[in-house]
Chains A and B, each alone.
Chain A
Amino acid sequence: MAEVKLHGRWYSPFPYRVIWALKLKGISYEYIEEDLSNKSPLLLQYNPVHKKIPVLVHSGKPICESMIIIEYIEEKWPQTPLLPSDPYEKAKARFWVKFVEEKAPAFWSLYRSTGEEQKKALKDSSETLKIVEEQGLGEKKFFGGDSIGIVDIAFGVIAHWFGVFEEIVEVKVLEAHAFPRLHAWKVNFEEVPVIKENLPDRDKMLDYFKKRRIESLSASQ
């Protein structure tokens, strides 16, 4: 059988997207933890352009960029589809995937910054969540409808990582009263068994990102 390997990093949401897709489709894979401060020759060989994780390696051939990997997985293993079959619905899903890819940097900026930069990150993050709440989710339980799909997977960073960043900088943005639908989505998303059983430890993440914040702030002094 062709082998599937995934190069990732335990605290990053991007390899988790791929893990969720593989698990939902029941695909066996080998996970390889990368040390990003000391990148393996293999990683540099598989992703010479960006030198980043995740990289999926299928029968020795590397695929990079988490959402591109998921589209590949979808095409190779059509069971438990993550994308709608209708081209228009597919286009809508890809639109929202691109949206979160574009807007997510503000979330990362939140935990790494202070002062004006942080204010901007907060404002941008809130605006992003507002758009998703009002125009993305609608009345649906999940972006994918009754079950999770590619957009839910892409938005996983909001479900699990954003809360950690909020806690580190002591702000509360994604609250039930402000974003009732998105908040309900977050709760439902994290209850999906494949998601629930495949998330990085929250306390460990809190520790890790707190340290990263300190390093990041002292580096910019």
Chain B
Amino acid sequence: MAEEVLLFSTWFSIYGRRVEMALKLKGIEYKFIEEDLTNKSPSLLKYNPVHKKVPVLVHNGKPVAESLVILEYIDETWKNHPILPKHPYERANTRFWAKFIDEKCWPAILQACWGKDQKEREKAAEELSKLLQFLENELKGKRFFGGETIGLLDIAANTIGYWLGVFEEAAGVSELLTREKFPKLFNWVNEWLSVSAIKENLPPRDKHVAFMRLNGQGFWNDYNASK
């Protein structure tokens, strides 16, 4: 049967990029459908009626939503270049840190960049530093979170590896992830951004920074409103 893989997303969706990285790493052909989030397509609303959000992967007509769920689905469906470890304990560890990045790091990044005043932003930056320290320790001596090759956790950590820097520049706040403070993470970022499937799959930086300058506050407000 001919495979049909569609990805509904936007050029600036951090979660959509995760899915694209996994698809590209595994050499899966897919069709990218750019959504206008101010005017969502009937297809998106049909495929993700619960959240009406991107990304949604549609494989042979069957929709999968939520980026980490999609990544696990991709790994179970296309077995080449596995992105999850084999052993249950390491898999649990991978899932734990991916959840940590999404639930703890992401809001701290948004608040450090677009918190309502300097005091709030500085407090969030302090919190983010503590969170980064956990990730620094988790990396240990490894080249990637996934070991010698990139895995799901590296893909999830793109939040730190790439998005953090863009947001900091857009918001005009100082860089947190410095070589002095987080040598292992800093090194990881360099390794990460040299992987071709990754570096060729990031939004154009200037465009992204300009976009976030305009929309960053809105992102933080939306996040807050949803909690």
Contacts and interface: CB of A to CB of B under 8 A. Distances in A.
Interface in B48-92: 49-50, 59, 62, 64-66, 68-70, 72-73, 76-77, 88-89, 91-92
Assign chain A's interface to a size class: 20 to 34
B96 A65 contact: yes
Interface in A67-105: 68-69, 71-72, 75-76, 87-88, 90-92, 94-95, 98-99, 105
B69 A98 contact: yes
A72 B91 contact: yes
Given A49-B134, A64-B96, A105-B227, A88 B62 contact: yes
Given A72-B92, A94-B72, 15 more contacts: A49-B100, A61-B89, A69-B92, A71-B91, A71-B92, A75-B88, A88-B62, A90-B73, A94-B69, A95-B64, A95-B65, A95-B69, A98-B68, A105-B227, A135-B49
Main DSSP-derived SS at the B contact region = helix
A68 B64 contact: no
Contacts of A173: none
A35 B73 CA distance: 38
A131 B64 CA distance: 17
Interface of B: 49-50, 59, 62, 64-66, 68-70, 72-73, 76-77, 88-89, 91-92, 95-96, 99-100, 134, 227
Interface of A: 49, 58, 61, 63-65, 68-69, 71-72, 75-76, 87-88, 90-92, 94-95, 98-99, 105, 131, 135
Contacts of A90: 72-73, 76
A218 B114 CA distance: 31
Contacts of B66: 94-95, 98
A88 B64 contact: yes
A64 B95 CA distance: 10
8 contacts: A64-B96, A65-B95, A68-B96, A71-B92, A71-B95, A91-B72, A94-B69, A135-B50
Contact of A91 (B49, B73, B88): B73
Nearest to B102: A98
B64 A72 contact: no
B62 A131 contact: no
B77 A87 contact: yes
Given A65-B99, A68-B99, A98-B69, A91 B92 contact: no
Nearest to B65: A95
A72 B88 contact: yes
Contacts of B134: 49
A98 B51 CA distance: 12
Given A63-B92, A71-B91, A99 B64 contact: no
A17 B88 CA distance: 19
Contacts of A76: 88
